[in-house]
Amino acid sequence: MKEVINIYRKQKSTVDAYIINMIKNAPQKYIENAPSIFKANSSIQLLYAVNKEYIQISPTICKKGSEKEREGSNKEHYFSKMKLDSKGFYISNPYLHYRTGKASVSIVHKQEEKYYVFDIDLIALLEELKLIEYNSTYENIKKSFYIFGAFLLAAVSVALVAYGGYMFVAILFVKEEVDLLHNIFQSIIAITLGIAIYDLAKQIFENEVLYRRFHNEENKQYKILGRFLISIIIALSIETLMVVFKIALGDYKEMLAAFWLLLGTTLMFVGLAFFYKIVVYQKKGEDDD
């Protein structure tokens, strides 16, 4: 919604002029001609009429029918701060529509002693003006895929955390001979990876399902990748520490493995730092421009 509103604000004069022109060109008996108005203008979600005392005098007419429940309701709180322009029009600020949950604006047109209110779907309107590209079928398919993938990742993360917890409980209560140091570190690694994967699933679900934006934030994917890599580096560091402890306890066979693990983890640290530096400086340079 934030990106839609930002696009609207950047093009506000053009979009507002288009909305007013759209209402002007509609059949003037709005309530009687509601079906043809909806058919000709896909961005209009609903309309209704209000008298000079700000009492709704018509049903709330939608594309799929009308609602008589709101007829007779007092709309004074909506109209108290409204200022019509010289042509009798008023366009509200963007808001989240109570019916559709989409970014919307309302336009009021005064004719004689009546006010006619139109709720406009901002997404459909901006798409119509070619200011955004949005395909509901494609978005639904993509969203379903992300939901499925995020759910599977979350299930894997829960399994890893449960396995790590199981190993730790087994160390404490199972009396069989165990490699205490090795098993504890395995438990830590499993839990750390589980948390990392869960964080990745959460990021995917939040960014691609709940708060999907039409223009992707340029550094969003970098944040997700960076957080996941940090968790992986932590897991590798723990594994390296485990091998080092084994060497300290006299198991020198693992010395070469510890060296390569330490070298690999260090290189990942350096690479991640370089990656962040490039991203931050690039973003800063773009902001300065």
For 221-275, the pLDDT digits (tens) are 666 677 677 777 777 777 777 777 767 666 667 677 777 878 888 888 888 788 7
Same domain? For 144 and 258 the reply is yes
Are both 278 and 173 inside the same structural domain? Answer: yes
Query: How many separate domains does the chain show?
Result: 2
Residue 242's pLDDT is 72
For residue 57 the two structure tokens come to: 């005098």
Please check whether residue 219 is in contact with residue 283, taking contact to mean a CB–CB distance below 8 angstroms.
yes
Residues 74-96, mean pLDDT to the nearest whole number: 88
Q: Which of 74, 109, 128 is the last residue of a domain?
A: 128
Identify any residues that bridge with 270 across adjacent strands, giving them in sequence order.
none
Domain match, 154 and 212 both: yes
Mean per-residue pLDDT, 14-18: 92
pLDDT band at 1 (very low <50, low <70, confident <90, very high): low
Same domain, yes or no: 109 and 154: no
Q: Which residue has the higher pLDDT, 13 or 81?
A: 13
In degrees rounded to 5, what are phi and psi of residue 32?
-65, -35
What does the pLDDT read at residue 191? 84
Q: For the stretch 92-127, what's the b/e string if a residue is b when 16 or more beta carbons lie within 10 angstroms of its beta carbon? A: eebeebeeeeebbbbbbbbeeeebbbbbbbbbbbbb
Please state the pTM of the whole predicted model. 0.52
Whether residue 74 is found in the same domain as residue 151: no
Task: Say if residue 203 is in the same domain as residue 276.
Answer: yes
Q: Please tell me whether residues 117 and 155 are part of one structural domain.
A: no
Q: Rounded CA gap, 87 and 110, in Å? A: 9
Residue 114 sits in the same domain as residue 141: no
- 46 and 120 assigned to the same domain: yes
Q: What whole-number distance in Å separates Cα of residue 132 and Cα of residue 126?
A: 6
> What residues contact residue 241 under an 8 Å CB cut-off, 6+ apart?
185
Q: What pLDDT, on a 0 to 100 scale, did the predictor assign at position 216?
A: 47
Instruction: Give the pair of three-digit tokens for residue 104.
Output: 């919307």
Domain boundary among 128, 160, 189: 128
- Assigned token pair, 178: 């165990």
| Same domain membership, residue 91 and residue 123 | yes
CB-count burial class (<10 Å; 0-12, 13-18, 19+) for 249: exposed
Q: Which domain holds residue 26?
A: 2-128
Q: Do residue 73 and residue 156 come from a single domain?
A: no
Q: Which residues pair with 109 in a beta bridge?
A: 89, 116
- Assess whether pLDDT exceeds 90 at residue 57: yes
Residue range 98-135, pLDDT digits in tens: 877 788 999 999 998 899 999 999 888 888 888 876 65
Residues 68 and 153 in one domain: no
Task: Decide which of 80, 103, 128 is a domain's last residue.
Answer: 128
Q: What is the CATH number of the domain that holds 117?
A: 3.30.450.20
The crossing angle, in degrees rounded to 10, of helices 180-205 and 220-248 is 180
pLDDT digits (tens, 9 = 90+) for 131-163: 876 656 777 787 888 889 889 989 999 998 999
Name the more confident of 43 and 243.
Answer: 43
